[in-house]
Amino acid sequence: MSRASRALACEPDCPGRVRLDKWLWAARFYKTRALAAETIERGRVLVNGVVAKASREPRVGDVIELRTGDVIRTVVVRGLSTVRGPAPQAALLYEETPESIAARERYAELRRLAPEPAATLTQGRPTKRDRRRIEAWRTAPEQRQWNARWSASLDD
């Protein structure tokens, strides 16, 4: 039996201890354990309604509220693991609440209907060549003459 299958085999009643950051990583909520620890440190992970520390040990039945990107997810711990396995096995470690699923679907629909305005920009920042052209246009002779003629007096 491999190390991963042994760790996942004892999920429901595993007496072993696992840190919260390691569990979030093993359950595939975050790509690295460092990202999970950073999110916990910023106070974006709640366990049973209380701000958690990375060293906290989740237990089966705990309700964890976490933020991944702009989406807030609420999950119930169904198993413990210290090993990051394949996604189908990682999905057995938790169960997402129906309210959380509905909120994620609403957010996805809003994103689809009203995309981020910045995503429509195709050109980005001006290049060095573009900046030179803009500056040349600003300091063109006709621009300087117009500025030179400007006067606030009525005598001219």
84 pLDDT more than 70: yes
Share of the chain above pLDDT 90, in %: 58
Regarding pTM above 0.75, the answer is: no
Average pLDDT over residues 37-42: 95
* Residue 53, burial from CB neighbour count under 10 angstroms (0-12, 13-18, 19+): middle
Largest CA distance in the chain: 98
CB 75 within 8 A of CB 97: yes
Average pLDDT over residues 98-119: 88
H/E element, 73? strand 71-77
Say which amino acid occupies 18. Answer: V
CB 26 within 8 A of CB 19: no
pLDDT value of residue 106: 94
Fold observed for domain 3-116: 3.10.290
SS3 percent helix, strand, coil of the chain, rounded to 5, is 45, 15, 40
Q: What is the mean pLDDT of the chain?
A: 84
H/E element, 135? helix 128-138
Average pLDDT over residues 59-87: 93
pLDDT in tens, 110-156: 888 887 777 776 777 888 998 898 888 888 766 556 555 565 666 65
Q: Can you give the residue ranges of every domain in the chain? A: 3-116
Distance between CA atoms of 21 and 41, rounded to whole angstroms?
A: 10
Q: Look at 31-40, 74-83, 124-133 and tell me which has the smallest mean pLDDT.
A: 124-133
Distance between CA atoms of 33 and 35, rounded to whole angstroms?
A: 5
CB 67 within 8 A of CB 11: no
